[in-house]
Amino acid sequence: MSRVAVVGGGLAGLLSAMRLQEAGHAVELREATPHLGGMISPVRLGSVEVDSGAEAYAVRGGVVRPLCDELGLEVAGPQGTPHIWWRHGTFPMAEGVLGIPGSLDDPALGVLSDEELAAVAAEADLDRAVGSDATTVGDLVRVRLGEAAVDKLVTPVTQGVYSMPPDRMPLSAFAPTLLEALASEGSLLAAVAAVRGPGTAAVEQPIGGMFQVINALAERFQAAGGSVRTAASVASLKRGGPGFQVSLHDGEVIEAERVVLAAPAAVTNVLLSHLGLDVPAPPVRTARSAMLAVSTPELADNPVGSGVLLAERDDTLHARALTHYSAKWPWAAGREHVLRLSYPEHVLPTRADALRDASRFVGVEIQERDVTGFASIGWESMPTRIDASNRDFIVETALEAGVDLVGAWLDGNGIAAVVSGTGRVLR
């Protein structure tokens, strides 16, 4: 049995620590902030505690549901239909993949003109080879369904969810089975229906919030004998004794045979430099949101379903998306309605901003007296995607020095990607 130091108490750090502890190692986990969870953490709004960061995981790949099952967490898919907001009206989002519909009956097609709809309908007559050489989501949709489908159906979704235009989204990363399904089904709409599956949700969460995974991991890790400290930031990482010395700012020194770095890229870069390794940190971005708990009675009708994405610029709106959290995840419904608004990184949303933007999005005037809770939230170090070859080089470079690396900055900013990446520590 070896002693292992895990630096970072987000999902990657906690899951790695639990796996190693249960494999027979003695694991010490240290987290710099006062709370575990990283970008999966709760916030209390009025009478309910909800996710302040990541709220769901992608079902595709089937890696997170088994973890939830293992932890004894019941899961559920979202309720309601998300919508797309245009100045001239609000339309449902396509029930498909990345805004691509899986049927001509999809209500999302109501945003298209008759001519644009005819182009989508004619797609079934195209040869299945058309678009087979496409490399991005935008390329494929454009050649199969037309420019209007890219602009009105897909772009609002990819910009609102991923902050990326469809022409910059590789099919291999965002819809890896779509071309294969196109070859099999003969049309893009049929391919989307086959990939999505009838009535299946693309995402789900543990009932009670995504942060329940963090709570369950921490509880199980500690029950197995693991050690956790928060508000315990690491100052240096050096070779010493049989392995490493991990020194904290408060004076604690951990002697460990192995080290797992599950910290943000910038912190990992600094600690690896203490070992003489130069691993450049990739760029990061900032994500900002505001959350409201309100008692407005008209919201009981869920006027925009589970939420709405901004499809076109409107200078009177600062937010670019709204999630009716308590409609999307009914466990959170009660006396109050929980609304979550997403903002560009240069906007620091105030309570007044959130009230105004939420009222515009849902089409209901929310009064100040209705507000029972408010939070303005900023994530300053959201990782950006790095290519697989670069990730493998970074991981192997650190591993040669005896250090394991895990986390969203390496494996992708998604729950499923992070969970998969932690498998590296069981070597």
Q: What is the pLDDT of residues 57-70, one digit of tens each?
A: 988 788 999 999 99
Task: Please determine, for residue 200, whether its predicted confidence score (pLDDT) is greater than 70.
Answer: no
389 band by pLDDT with thresholds 50, 70 and 90: confident
Dihedral sign for Cα atoms in the order 288, 209, 17, 248: positive
The predicted model scores a pTM of 0.87
State residue 161's pLDDT score: 80
* Total number of residues shown for the chain: 427
Each residue's pLDDT tens digit, 403-414: 999 999 999 878
State residue 284's pLDDT score: 84
For the chain, the average pLDDT equals 93
Residue type, 299: L
173 band by pLDDT with thresholds 50, 70 and 90: confident
State residue 29's pLDDT score: 98
| Inter-residue contact 5 to 254 (CB < 8 Å) | yes
Q: What's the CA gap between 172 and 62, in Å, rounded? A: 18
State residue 198's pLDDT score: 62
State the average pLDDT over residues 302-322: 91
State residue 12's pLDDT score: 97
Query: 422 has which bridge partners?
Result: none
Question: Rounded to an integer, what is the distance from CA 349 to the centroid of its chain?
Answer: 21
340 band by pLDDT with thresholds 50, 70 and 90: very high
What SS3 state is found at 71? coil
Each residue's pLDDT tens digit, 268-294: 999 999 999 988 888 888 889 999 999
Query: 290 has which bridge partners?
Result: 341, 376
199 band by pLDDT with thresholds 50, 70 and 90: low
Task: Please determine, for residue 315, whether its predicted confidence score (pLDDT) is greater than 90.
Answer: no
Task: Please determine, for residue 387, whether its predicted confidence score (pLDDT) is greater than 90.
Answer: no
Q: What's the CA gap between 217 and 180, in Å, rounded? A: 37
Q: What's the CA gap between 349 and 150, in Å, rounded? A: 30
Lowest-confidence range among 113-117, 158-162, 247-251?
Answer: 158-162
Q: What's the CA gap between 71 and 220, in Å, rounded? A: 8
State the average pLDDT over residues 390-399: 92
Q: What's the CA gap between 102 and 89, in Å, rounded? A: 22
Task: Please determine, for residue 170, whether its predicted confidence score (pLDDT) is greater than 70.
Answer: yes
Task: Please determine, for residue 4, whether its predicted confidence score (pLDDT) is greater than 80.
Answer: yes
Q: What's the CA gap between 65 and 57, in Å, rounded? A: 9
From the list 86, 93, 70, the residue with the least C-alpha distance to 15 is 70
Q: What's the CA gap between 32 and 236, in Å, rounded? A: 13
